[in-house]
Amino acid sequence: MTNYDIIIIGAGPAGMSAASVAAYAGLDVLLLDEQPDVGGKVYRNVKQNDSKQNWFGSDYSSGMHLVNAINCNRITKYFRATVWRVEKNKRVIWSHNGESKISTASNIVLATGAQERPFPFPGWTLPGVMTVGSAQILMKSSGIFPKEAVLVGSGPLLYLVATQMIDANCPPKALIETQTLRMMMNSLIHLPLALLNMKSLIKGFMFIHKIKSAGVPRYKSVSSLEARLNNKGLIEFLFSHKGIKKSLKTKLLLIHQGVIPSTEISRSVGIDHSWNTSQLSFQPIIDKWGKTNIDGIYIAGDCAGINGSASASLYGKLAAIKILYNTEKINFYVYKMQSLSIRINLFFINSIRLFLDTLYAVPEEVLFPSDDTTVCRCEEITVGQIKLGLNEGIRGVRQLKTSIRSGMGLCQGRMCDAIVRSIMLHNTSQEHTTILAPKTRSPIKPITLGEMSKIKKD
Amino acid sequence: MKPDSRFNTLVKSTKDVNFTLFGEVVTAPKGSTLAAAILSHSGDAFRQTETGALRSAFCMMGVCFECLVEVNGNPNTQSCMILVEDKMVVKRQVGLRQIGICEND
Amino acid sequence: MTDNQPEITIVGGGVVGLSIAVGLLQSGHKVIVLDGKDNDARASFGNFGLVWGQGKGWDFAPYAKLTADAIDAWQNFSDNLNELSGLDVSLDQKGGFEFFTDPEEFKSFIGMLEIQKGHSGNRFSYETLSGDELRKQIPGIGSKVVGATFSQLDGHVNPLRFLRALQRSVQALGGKIRSNTIVKKTESNKNGGFSLTLANGTLISTEKVILCAGLGSMQLANQLAFKTNIRPEKGELLITEKLGSELPFLSSTIRQVDEGGVQIGGTNADVGMNDSETLSDMVDLARHAVDVYPALSNVRVLRAWGALRVMTPDGYPVYAQSEECPGAYLITCHSGVTLASLHASILSDWIDDNIKTPNLEAFDEARFKI
């Protein structure tokens, strides 16, 4: 058993910021991440890619300063370290090289980031269909680029990756967008506030401009999505555009419908969650410092609600500042002045959020897919099978899981919980406040019996 | 059907490892995740589900559990979460896993 | 019968309540089942699916006999459920083991089984195997196992499919299950029957009320003059990824569901209404699994669970009729799966008090001498 002042789970922008602020003010930090290196998703492999390519933009390379900041001997870092249990008394159980370890701290910061929102449609489970985020990871960490790809869906990441591909000379074959005119109209009311984050707005326009200049065909307002695999291993993607059925063949289909917070750990430890109606996801209930209803456990970054990496970094700092003030490592003046400037910054950065959430809203076809769509990928359960359960009177997510087995596979509900919930809300007359966040339990990632059996309990 | 890789390798590596992938000896850059190495060599499925459906890597970040392969006899291993190693033997995960080998102490 | 004036109201839609509903519906009664909320304690969600005899009732003969009857009746019950619901609960009654790594515990358990055999006559028998004999019979059993007992009538079902089959059967028989329905108050009416006040204010008027709400029964039981004290006892479970290979044994602590995942359980702890999984029990369960069958070492745990068993003061079932409020019944036990076959058959006769009514006096709450 090892002891620290703070354990930080996740070494993305939020985690790295929190770690560096805490360590420089004198606290001992344990920083854990299940990926092979720092960076989270946004700054993945930023170290390794430092000198080489300009394909990923200046935002990406700015991650280097954070990476350098955590090279401090008060920060003990472990990678390929999977946290599988967090307890209210701030004990963390984590797996590294096949061995589980127990660490304790006076404070914990959860900075587990986000995952892609599941985007089901018939055929989304086929080989050759991957997420847009996965392609970005491959480009950043393995230097491999799609030979030919069609991008489908909605959201800023769709355009970002499209431009990264264009810059690397493998432009997308087409951009097939589910965004409708209605969504654009609905978002206008949030545009005035969004103007406070002019930098991001301009960046967004430039991405779209680049995509247009590169001559990438765009199809907007599409529906009736379906993917098929032909006998040559190519994906045939079918969609409806302006009332006409179209189809495109491609080697790789990259899909995206925004991101949602990763709340497996926060739910497992008993933190309360609420439903965010504009982001259509659960998020932990925290105060303005990231403090939860559990003493000593804080949450920072996108795992508390989607606001992007710049925000995440600042929230990481806030959590660390609060902890430093509580432990008397910084005085009241520093505490107030530092946090004030951060909050001003956050106000401007976050002002674009509601605009983006509405502009890139999730289409109904994704929230309530057709009956033949696989929803639970692990257990191969379709929307139709779930509806059958609902017709038998099942009204709770826990009951649905135990009856139908959706969510009982290896991914532990990560790929299906979100859509099962929207199907349930749509098909039964329940308010979103009656269906609570699904409970998660440790191990929040699968662990072998052998590894579990060897843990020394004292 | 044995589709070619859906990806091009644009960054040349300086160090390589050799490992056996689906019966063939191939090379991959040291430091690459196994899933990335597989994707750079093959566009084929990584595994078959219980009902025989073909699946391949999907999220590349450890969330979806689709990139499961058998590594050195260990079934249901997420290939996106481990790095390639010299002399690794990688096979497809076909259907449900068997009960497994005894772990050596 | 209107929705708010059912003939018989069963409070609690777990395995106990639903099995009783099936029996009463098949005898021609009109029944509704009021079931609680999704995140209530719900012992049935954590059921292990055992249809188990060995070790039961060694110190309470009526229970040993009841269990033997229940096991006997299970095949018919399973066929009945299949016909009504279209679901096969995968009843497997090919015998089960209890494994021991402690020689003293082994010896002591054999003593208990001998006494149980005495109570049950020919209807219960068992074998003992030494560790070596066991390893010959089942290659792969770990070296730490010093011995096992085996009873050829023990078996199991798919626990969650069983629950679903019960729900479907009740509906197929014309019974109604109302979820998210909490009963706040029960009162006997002057001219017979009962008034139940729901949490949302609705009033239900019913001739008979049967309390099978497990840990949720306490408050209502007191209102109907029952005196049994029901308390929670936590049991933890580990559930693994699905295996394509068959586990070569069934035991009360390690068993494989027909879908392929292995369940490991058997702890108990007195911690009130807390159903959280603990690291300590998780490690103990993992050690037990790996000691009994080392090939399980690289099998992954997907989920750890805590479920609250419904325990009466002596751990044996309570079948009680209220003397003060005739027509009110309290039924509670923690072997709801094994006894389900009887709950769906002889218990209807008992509630009807007809010619076939079984003698369940031994299970009345009077035995607690409150």
Residue C335 to chain B, least CA–CA distance (Å): 30
Whether B47 is covered by a domain: the verdict is yes
Q: How many separate domains does chain B show? A: 1
Asked whether residue A191 falls in the same domain as residue A236, the answer is yes
The answer for C 10-49 residues in CB contact with A (under 8 A) is 37-39, 42, 45
Domain-embedded: residue A449:
no
Asked whether residue A234 falls in the same domain as residue A199, the answer is yes
To which H or E segment does residue A264 belong?
helix A264-268
**pTM for the model:** 0.93
Burial of C83 (0-12, 13-18, 19+ CB in 10 A): exposed
Q: Is residue A456 part of a domain?
A: no
Would you call the peptide bond into A443 cis, given omega within 30 degrees of 0 as the criterion?
Answer: yes
The predicted pLDDT at position C6 comes to 84
Res A164 pLDDT > 70: yes
Are A140 and A247 in a shared domain? Answer: yes
> Mean of the pLDDT values across residues C69-88?
97
Contact C237, C212 (CB under 8 A): no
**Smallest Cβ distance to B6: which of A48, A137, A147?**
A147
Lowest mean pLDDT among A238-252, C208-222, C294-308: C208-222
Question: Do A193 and A240 lie in a common domain?
Answer: yes
Q: Are residues A13 and A81 in the same domain?
A: yes
Q: Is C164 on the interface with A (CB under 8 A)?
A: yes
Domains of chain C: 8-51+161-229+314-368 (3.50.50.60), 94-155+231-311 (3.30.9.10)
Co-location of A67 and A146 in the same domain: no
For residue range A303-359, what is the model confidence (pLDDT) as tens digits?
999 999 999 999 999 999 999 999 999 999 999 999 999 999 999 999 999 999 999
Q: Which of A22-26, A187-191, B98-102, C65-69 has the lowest mean pLDDT?
A: B98-102
A15 and A108 share one domain:
yes
**Is the torsion defined by CA of A110, A111, A112, A113 positive or negative?**
positive
Residue B2 lies in a domain: no
For residue A65, is pLDDT > 70?
yes
Indicate which CATH number applies to the domain containing A409. 1.10.10.1100
With contact defined as 3+ CB pairs under 8 Å, the chains touching B are: A, C
- CATH number for the domain spanning A49: value is 3.50.50.60
A301 lies in the same domain as A375: no
The nearest alpha carbon in chain A to C291 belongs to A453
Question: How would you classify the pairing of strands A244-250 and C208-211?
Answer: unpaired
8 Å CB contact of C304 and A441: yes
Mean pLDDT calculated for residue range C186-215? 91
Say if B1 falls within a structural domain.
Answer: no
Non-local (6+) Cβ contacts of C166 within 8 A are: C15, C18, C19, C21, C22, C81, C85, C340
From chain A, pick out residues whose CB is under 8 angstroms from the CB of C37: 396
pLDDT grade for A53, boundaries at 50, 70 and 90: low
Per the DSSP assignment, residues forming a β-bridge with A370 are none
| For residue C160, pLDDT beyond 90 | no
Q: Please report whether residue B105 resides in a domain.
A: no
CB-based contact, A399 to chain C, within 8 Å: yes
- Residue A56 pLDDT > 70, yes or no? no
Residue of A nearest to B41 (CA): A144
0.90 surpassed by complex ipTM: yes
Size (chain A), residues: 458
Task: Name residues 217-256 of chain C within 8 A of B (Cβ).
Answer: 241-245, 247
Nearest-CB residue to A133 (from B54, B59, B82): B59
- Which chain A residues have a beta carbon less than 8 Å from that of C302? 408-410, 412, 443, 446
Nearest to A138 among B7, B46, B58 (CB): B7
One-letter amino acid of C74: W
Would you say residue A357 lies in a domain?
no
A190 shares a domain with A65: no
Beta bridge partners of B78: B68
* Mutation target among C143, C258, C262, C297 for the B interface, most CBs of B within 10 A: C297
Which member of B96, B101, B103 has the closest CB to residue C242? Answer: B96
Same domain, A64 and A151: no
Position with higher pLDDT, B78 vs A59: B78
Which residues constitute the domain of residue B37? 16-94
Do A134 and A162 fall into the same domain? yes
Nearest to A402 among C45, C168, C179 (CB): C45
**What integer pLDDT is reported at residue A141 of this predicted model?**
83
- Does residue B105 surpass a pLDDT of 50? no
Q: Give the range of the structural domain holding residue A412, as residue numbers without chain letter.
A: 368-427
Q: Judge whether B10 lies within some domain.
A: no
Q: Are residues A213 and A150 in the same domain?
A: yes
pLDDT given at position C369 = 75
Per the structure, how many domains does chain A have?
A: 3
Lowest mean pLDDT among A269-278, A416-425, A432-441: A432-441
Confidence check: pLDDT of A48 > 80: no
CATH number for the domain spanning B44: value is: 3.10.20.440
- Put simply, the chain A residues between 360 and 389 with a CB less than 8 A from any chain B CB are 377-378, 380
Q: Tell me if A338 is assigned to some domain.
A: no
Look at residue C8 and give its three-state secondary structure: strand
